[in-house]
Structure formats: structure tokens, C-alpha cells
Structure 1
Amino acid sequence: MNTPELFVASVTPFTAPAGAVDHGWIVRHLRWLEAQGVDGVVPCGTTGEGQSLSVAERMAIFDTVLHHRGQLRVFAGTGCAALSDTIALTRYAIERGADAALVLPPFYFKNLSDDGLLGYYRALCDALPSSARLILYHIPPMSQIPITPAVIAGLYQSHPHMVYGLKDSGGDLAYLSMLRQRFPELRVYVGSAALLAQALREGATGGIFALSNVFPREMRAVMTAHLSGGDVETAQQRVTALSAVLKPYGNPPALKALLACMADFPRTSSRFPLVDLTDEQADALWAAVRSL
């Protein structure tokens, strides 16, 4: 049994709700995460507010993360609504040393055909070095564009060596089971912390979690118990409870508030349209977490 991989869907710190990215904070967070024993980070994804960042801002974040990665692996979040932006960001990240790119579907036009989505991903692959590796990002609750089996099969047919894996943030174990049966060679990273134990039983490679920004040891405990035959359910119950406590507050603002409370990080902001927690909300969240 292979050791499950633990990745962090890392937050992006801003100096103010309409301010710049705080690159010094990112470096400090990377060192903290590395000390906590995570395998890697995913900058500029959903939790990293990637769609609130310009192409230039994302490139600058990739530079900071890749320069200060230490022993961490890096999956760069590069998906955009415009194919040209996705190509530019993905090429930039790969050429500067990212291990893979996590690529969200183009999300503005809904009810896309498989041919349209497959064409988008094939055009991306054609524009990249042959050594590039892509992780498809299945997150229909946000994008409303699912990664269908036909799209995966089509990419395996045309660009088999570039399909590294898939992040499943759909919250549907039936979808994950289907992937494992139809594409056993596909690396599947679960995105829902509450489903980690079940996903590992289904054969998931590991996970990419927002919760790992603050609670990497709790996430790792589920993986360790799964690997050793330990008490998986107790470890999973704790993770599920933590996830439920954060949910009403919204992930990026809540995670940033907790890092200030728990790990003495400087207070940092999310970017509009997300709204930071008030002091009263942060105190209530921290009290709820302590109670667990």
C-alpha cells in the first residue's frame, strides 16, 4: 500500500481586502507547512482565491512558492476562463519547476459539450512542453463544469503522458469509485476533508485540502491510521468536526483567522468579494475549535 500524499490548497494573503499579495507571509507559511510534514502545496486554487488574482499576480506567487519550496512539491493552480491565460500560466509554472498544474475547466460558459471541454484541454496540452503534467480539476459545485469520463478518456487517447491526475472536489463518492474502476492508472486526489477516509478506501492517491492550511497533522492522522490499520474512524471524525466548524465562515477568511490564533501568524486579509471575519467571529471560531 502506497503512502497517501497530503497537499495543502494554500491560502493567498493580502495586505487589505483590495490590497496586494503579501509574499513574505507566503514564505513563512511554506516553512510552517514543511515543518508540519505535508508533501506539497497548491497555490492559486479555489482556497487560494486564484480567480481573484490577475495573471501577473499568479505568476509572481508561483515565483515565490517555487523559490522557497524547500522539500515541498508544487501543483500550480493555473485554470482560467480564457484558454490563452491558462496556457500562459501553465507554461510559466511548468517551465519554472512546478511538478504539475491543477487546471480548472473554463467556467463562464455552462453546459459545455464534451467535445468543447476536450478541445480546450487538448489545445492546452499542445501548447505545453511534452514534459508538462496536468491535474484535471473536478469541482462542479463551484465551476458547474464536470470532468466527464469521456473527457478523461479523450485526453488519455491524445496526450496520455500529460495526464498526471485529477482532483475530485465534487463530494460524490460514486464519481470517485467510477474513476478508480474506469481509470485505475489515474492519480485521484480528494478535495473534501470529510470524505478522506472513504476516499482512501476507494484507492485515492491522497488529498488536496483547504483544512491542511491549519490542521495538517489532523489530516495526516487519518492517512496514517489508514496505512497502519489504526483507528481511522476516530481520526476522521475529528477532521469532519473541524471542517463543519469552519464551514459557516467560509474557508479562506476562516483559515487565515485561525492561523493568526493558533500559529501566531500576522493577521492577513482575503480579497473582495470575500469578506474577512470580524474580531467577534474570529473569537467565536477559535473557541469552537478549542472545544474540539
Structure 2
Amino acid sequence: MKAAYLTPAITMFHADGSLDLDSQKKLYENLIAQGMDGILVEGSSSEFFAMNMEQRRAMAKFAIDTIDHRVKLIVGTSSMVADEIISFSNYCLEQGADAVMILPPYYFHFDDEALLQYYDHLAGAIDGPIYIYNFPDNTGYTISPHTVVKLAKLHSNIVGMKDTISGMDHTRELIKVVKSELPDFEIYSGFDDNFAHNVLSGGDGCIGALSNVVPELCAAWVKAFRNNDLDGIAKGQQTINRLMDLYTVRSPFLPVLKEALKLRGIAASSSSTFPMPNATVEDDAQIRALFHREGIR
């Protein structure tokens, strides 16, 4: 059965806020070595929202050069300034990214007509593949399946969508409505525990942040699907269900995932962008207990 698992890669920082490219390279190399199908940089897990454009371009170029087409690379180019999105997207595509991913405008809520105009404008000016990024918890509203169909029919370079919603209702409707007309349009879930439901519903898989920490388990889950291994699929679901506890150690969860990566020898520190809180001693103890429970070293 067709299935793919991509990692929305975390961005590593030094305590002074500069990019920690040594740790970043370790992360990318581990994800590739462990068998992940692709990497998304500068998505929500990357803290793009707190990075200036100079940092974002540097991070994108480093990812493009380091990953070097060994796996699929998508760069998140979201911004509240359309001209910045277009310029940054074309830069990433020219440098060698496989695609870009773009959120709808946030802060204000926009209706279907406005979203149609928005992505129509961007897609007409961006010279390469685009994924729509639907994340209503952070934007305040959702993109309807019918708007997605209209956009994908208008622009052949709108090739897929990441749907970050905890339940499967909206994603299931997307799969039903969009793929009935455009079967090659890619639809990914944004929460790790929805991976199996997505694939079984006819979607393409998941772009989930737990794979930063346990890529070997996520890749094994994908392999189980490709081999029609029902026991392996069930084992993967149950393991990921338990590992979802990492997301609940603290909010926001990003410092926790970084601390987990530090414990696994990938990250030098759990430093994040201001005002993201640092992981605490108590967080560390919870992560260690969870790792011990699951036999993760």
C-alpha cells in the first residue's frame, strides 16, 4: 500500500539565537539514514514565525545543500507579506528545493473567495510545486475541500496539502472530495497518530513532528504499510499513540522535542526562539521515563 512519512524538521538554535548548523546537520543525516521519505523545513515545528528573513534564507540554503536531493525537500515559505512569499519561494526552488509549503494569511479570518484569490495570486507567480498548509488551530479558520479543488484545477503547480487537524473529519472530506477529481493530489495529515487513518482513507500519509525524535519507528510503520503487514501497522499505531505523550509534557511542545533530541545525541541543546520556554528538569525526567517505557535509547 502506498504511504509516505515526512518530517517537519525542528530548527536548532544556540542559546544566543543563532542557528546551530552542526546539530541541524546531525538531524538531517539521522532522518535520511533512518529511512524518512522527506523533510519539511521552516514549517511550524521550525519556529519560522520567530526567524527573520536572513535566517530563513540561510536555513533553507543549508537544508537544500545538505539534503542534496537524497530525499524530498519541502520548504515552508509562509509569511504575512505576499511579495516575501513569492520572492522566498522562487529563491528556494531556484536553489534546488523540490517544493514549497504556504499557510493561508493569519490574524484575520478569510472566506473561500479571498483564499481562492490569495493562492491564485501566489501560484501564478511561483515557479514550482506548492503545497497548501491548513492549520486552523494557528490560523483561526480552515480551508474548504471545494476551494482546494478549484485551486488545484486552476494551477497545476498546486500539488498537495498538509492538513494539521487533530481529528480526521476534515482530512477525510478532503480525500473524498479532492482525490475523486484529482487522484494525484497529495494529502498529508499533520498529526502522527492520524498516519494510518489517512492512508487507509486514501490519503498519502503524514508530516508529523514525532519523526524528528523516533524516525526509525516512523519508517518501520511506513514499511509495514508497504508490505501489507497488519501486525506491524497495528504495532506502529499503538507505539505512536503512546509516544504522543511527548506533546503533552508542556505547551508549546517544541522545547520538549528538542530536549528529547538532546537525550538521543542529536541536538546540542534545547534552545529555542524567544519567548519559547526552555525545557525544565521536570520535563527531562518525564521524557526519560517515556523513553524507558518504550525502550528508546
TM-score range, shorter chain: over 0.9
Structural RMSD (CA): 1.6
Q: Deviation digits for residues 66-125 of structure 1, max 9, x if unmatched?
A: 011041211001111221221122111111111111111111212x11111111111111
Task: Show the counterpart of 1:194.
Answer: 193
1:212-291 matched pairs, under 5 angstroms:
212-230=211-229, 231=231, 232-249=233-250, 250-291=252-293
AA paired with 1:187?
Answer: E
User: TM-score when scaled to structure 1?
Assistant: 0.93
- Pair 1:164 & 2:159 matched: yes
User: Does the 8 A contact of 1:189 with 1:204 survive in 2?
Assistant: yes
Task: Show the counterpart of 2:23.
Answer: 25
Q: 1:41 to 1:86 in 2, by over 3 A?
A: same
Q: 1:189 to 1:255 in 2, by over 3 A?
A: same
Task: Give the drift of 1:234.
Answer: 2.1
- Pair 1:121 & 2:119 matched: yes
1:147-186 matched pairs, under 5 angstroms:
147-159=143-155, 161-184=156-179, 185=183, 186=185
AA paired with 2:255?
Answer: P
- Secondary structure of the 1:47 match is helix
Task: Give the drift of 1:224.
Answer: 2.2
Task: Give the drift of 1:243.
Answer: 1.1
User: Does the 8 A contact of 1:196 with 1:222 survive in 2?
Assistant: no
User: Does the 8 A contact of 2:9 with 2:42 survive in 1?
Assistant: yes
Which 10-residue stretch deviates more, 245-254 or 6-15?
Answer: 245-254
- 5+ long unaligned stretches in structure 2: none
User: TM-score when scaled to structure 2?
Assistant: 0.91
**In structure 2, C-alpha distance between the alignment counterparts of 1:279 and 1:48, rounded to whole Å:** 23
User: Does the 8 A contact of 1:165 with 1:188 survive in 2?
Assistant: yes
- Report runs of 4+ in structure 1 exceeding 4 Å deviation: none
Task: Give the drift of 1:42.
Answer: 0.6
Task: Give the drift of 1:38.
Answer: 0.9
- Secondary structure of the 1:166 match is strand
Total equivalences in the alignment: 286
Q: Deviation digits for residues 14-45 of structure 1, max 9, x if unmatched?
A: 112x5111122211211111111112111110
Task: Show the counterpart of 1:57.
Answer: 55
Q: Alignment identity in percent? A: 27
**In structure 2, C-alpha distance between the alignment counterparts of 1:278 and 1:144, rounded to whole Å:** 30
